[in-house]
């Protein structure tokens, strides 16, 4: 539907000053009204249409020229359709906004790769206006708070031209867009996160130990992980494991446990034999 900010804020749109026409799409009527009201304070930005569904947004865009679409990222299917159309023809800039917790880094990265021009938090008024201005100019703009969230998930190790490296904290290293995993690798990854050894995973998945070692090795390579704990940390940051997963201590392998028992037994026997030998030497000395 077309909208006049004065309907919400007691003001009006000045067509002479408005250079950026925006459409706001979200199922939340309060958020739609809030954005329209807040943008009324920006002379060059005018909310010309609002929508609560993909259909309503298309109708509005078909009847009113729009320069920037500001859309709720919770409208996932609509966002995907817009980005698909945007990649095929001339299309307004698209700014997605969040009205809750930030999604996994992998999701944010994929949205930008798919053509999303900006990502902001709706409760940061200055960021919304800045995103509209920057994307209208053809730039990609991400709210600083969300940018920090993304950067925490970036591998801070780069290669220098001289062959050396600039290494950040290795524990913070992560592949922003997670590797493509097979169904089996994903299943093994979850069991590794639960702390199971290769042998236990093989028993649970009814595969051979060699097969599980192969899959674990592939996972370590794909995530560029140093060890199993590092693998789980990276998988959490790429969204391949839930953020609330608890990294369980690795279950001791049966072979390791058995060898430890054998070592203790041998140690005890060796000690006993040693004592017996000393007793024999003492007895022999007494006879002499």
What span, in angstroms and rounded, lies between the C-alpha atoms of 42 and 35?
Answer: 11
pLDDT in the model for residue 148: 65
pLDDT in the model for residue 211: 92
In terms of pTM, does the model score above 0.85?
Answer: no
**189 has a pLDDT exceeding 90:** yes
pLDDT in the model for residue 129: 92
pLDDT in the model for residue 173: 36
CATH of the domain at 19: 3.40.50.2300
In-domain check, residue 21: yes
Mean predicted confidence (pLDDT) in 48-72: 93
Domain that holds residue 49: 6-151
Most confident of 22-26, 61-65, 111-115, 271-275: 22-26
pLDDT in the model for residue 192: 93
Residues 58 and 129 placed together within one structural domain of the fold: yes
pLDDT in the model for residue 213: 93
Residues 224 and 187 placed together within one structural domain of the fold: yes
pLDDT in the model for residue 274: 47
Q: Would you place residue 105 in the very low, low, confident or very high pLDDT band (cuts 50, 70, 90)?
A: confident
Note the pLDDT tens digit of each residue in 152-174.
554 433 333 333 333 333 333 33
pLDDT in the model for residue 18: 67
How many Å from the N-terminal Cα to the C-terminal Cα in the chain?
Answer: 115
What span, in angstroms and rounded, lies between the C-alpha atoms of 238 and 220?
Answer: 14
Q: Which tokens is 253 given? A: 């392998």
- Is residue 24 within 8 A of residue 32, CB to CB? The reply is yes
In-domain check, residue 227: yes
Domain count within the chain: 2
Residues 136 and 201 placed together within one structural domain of the fold: no
Q: Would you place residue 284 in the very low, low, confident or very high pLDDT band (cuts 50, 70, 90)?
A: very low
Q: What is the CA radius of gyration of the chain?
A: 31
């Amino acid at each position: 539907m077309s909208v006049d900010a004065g309907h919400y804020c007691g003001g009006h749109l000045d067509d002479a000053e408005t250079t950026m026409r925006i459409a706001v799409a979200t199922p939340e009527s309060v958020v739609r009204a809030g954005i329209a009201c807040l943008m009324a304070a920006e002379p060059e930005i005018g909310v010309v249409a609002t929508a609560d569904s993909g259909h309503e947004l298309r109708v509005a865009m078909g009847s009113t020229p729009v320069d920037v679409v500001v859309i709720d990222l919770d409208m996932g299917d609509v966002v995907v359709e817009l980005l698909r159309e945007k990649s095929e023809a001339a299309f307004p800039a698209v700014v997605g906004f969040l009205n809750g917790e930030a999604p996994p880094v992998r999701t944010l990265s994929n949205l930008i790769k798919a053509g999303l021009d900006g990502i902001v938090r709706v409760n940061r008024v200055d960021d919304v206006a800045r995103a509209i201005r920057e994307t209208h100019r053809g730039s990609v703009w991400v709210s600083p708070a969300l940018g920090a969230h993304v950067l925490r998930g970036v591998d801070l190790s780069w290669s220098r031209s001289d062959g050396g490296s600039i290494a950040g904290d290795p524990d913070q290293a992560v592949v922003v867009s997670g590797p493509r995993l097979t169904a089996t690798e994903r299943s093994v990854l979850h069991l590794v996160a639960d702390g199971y050894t290769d042998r236990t995973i093989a028993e649970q998945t009814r595969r051979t130990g060699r097969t599980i070692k192969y899959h674990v090795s592939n996972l370590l390579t794909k995530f560029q992980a140093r060890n199993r704990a590092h693998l789980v940390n990276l998988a959490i940051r790429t969204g391949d494991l839930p953020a609330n997963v608890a990294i369980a201590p690795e279950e001791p392998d049966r072979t390791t446990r058995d060898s430890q028992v054998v070592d203790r037994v041998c140690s005890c026997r060796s000690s006993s034999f040693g004592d017996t030998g000393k007793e024999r030497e003492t007895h022999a000395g007494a006879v002499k």
